[in-house]
A = this chain, B = another copy of it.
Amino acid sequence: MNILILGGDGYLGWPTAMRLSSLGHDVLAVDNYLRRRICRETSSEPLYEVPDLAERAELWQSISGRRVKVSIGDLSDWAYVEQIFTAFRPDAVVHYAEQPSAPYSMMDREAAALTLQNNLGSTFNLIHAVRQFAPECHIVKLGTMGEYGTPNIDIEEGWLDVEHKGRKQRFLYPRQAGSLYHTTKVMDTDLLWFYVRAWGIRVTDLMQGPVYGVETSESAGDLRLYPFLNYDEIFGTVINRFIVQAVAGHPLTVFGKGGQTRGFLNIKDTMNCICLAIETPPEPGELRIFNQFTETFSVRQLAAIVERVGQSLGLNVRTESVANPRVEAEEHYYSPAHTGLVELGLKPHPLTDDVVAGMIRTVQRFQDRIDPSKFLRGVQWR
């Protein structure tokens, strides 16, 4: 298949490019380096330097013999999108091309405006490009579990059957997100759902939880192929950040009570989920939604796991509660369904002590590059 990866330079984009390429697909990875630019501007550089996309593609080719095509450009620019779609008619598009940081989206008006314009602009142009140049193309869109928020009822997989005053209706599961970033993802889903109904395009929306880890089958053993590992408050996801804090001898920083519960997954499972979605496209006119995570943990539980494993490796790890800068429930009901991808064949990689220990050992190789001033940045939601 011809597979286009939007945001191909990213934490998940690059590993996805290698995976799909290793499976024999013709892969074009597109990126505008927005995340690199924002990381630099906010002093949120990742733990180690990551070669640019063209360099990584060359490296990957020299190692695997497989070629990932690369194009650098901005998907919110229609002329560029048109050029990409006419030169490379995709059978599937994996859409990661969004500003992915919730704290960044809450920093100030400019950051919020960039998030709104970039995320909706890229999704909008993608939809119109598929309609115009590749109407059969399967859009695999990365959503987020954060779209659902923390309702007091079970979170179903994308849809909710409502019985009300004796009548029934199936709705998109109602969404109310906790950051502007997450709200742009809700709006992405609104946009896709409208055009699925109006135009009969085919879309898989993957409601993904926070991802941890950096190693996938393709990068194994070669650090130069690893994706970004951010450990700061702005771009670092919680498990990755805790691991780095543990290695640095810095307290694991839990926001408030730490009862915030989310669904998590190993980056290896993200790769498998994407492949499963691509192998089984939905019908035209279908918006297929999967909740993409493998286990739920509270932030407190995650801290306890990292503390325990870190201590077993001789690290001096402790946990500290800091004032919560976010507007969120610190204790809440959380019961999200996640059977769809397992039914397609997903074999989850759980967060075992071995996995945590492996992540700690990876981070230890870069121990002297850790900058503890990055851990807490004081971005306030209010």
Judge if A376 is at the interface, Cβ distance under 8 Å: no
Would you list which residues of chain A between 171 and 199 have a CB under 8 Å from chain B?
171-177, 179-180, 183, 186-187, 190-191, 193-194, 197-199
Rounded to whole Å, the gap between the CB of A109 and the closest CB of chain B is 5
- Assess the B172–A176 pair: CB atoms within 8 A: yes
Judge if A370 is at the interface, Cβ distance under 8 Å: no
Q: How large is the interface on A (under 10, 10 to 19, 20 to 34, 35 or more residues)?
A: 35 or more
Judge if A327 is at the interface, Cβ distance under 8 Å: yes
How many identical subunits does the complex contain? 2
Judge if A249 is at the interface, Cβ distance under 8 Å: no
Which B residues are CB-close (under 8 A) to A121? 117
Judge if A224 is at the interface, Cβ distance under 8 Å: no
Tell me the interface secondary structure of chain A in the complex.
mixed
Judge if A169 is at the interface, Cβ distance under 8 Å: yes
Q: List 19 A-B contacts (CB under 8 A).
A: A78-B109, A112-B128, A117-B121, A151-B171, A152-B167, A153-B165, A171-B174, A171-B176, A172-B174, A173-B174, A176-B197, A179-B194, A186-B190, A187-B190, A187-B191, A197-B327, A198-B327, A198-B381, A200-B382
Q: Which residues of A contact B (CB under 8 A)?
A: 78, 106, 109, 112-113, 116-117, 120-121, 124, 128, 132, 151-154, 160, 162-165, 167-169, 171-177, 179-180, 183, 186-187, 190-191, 193-194, 197-200, 327, 333, 381-382
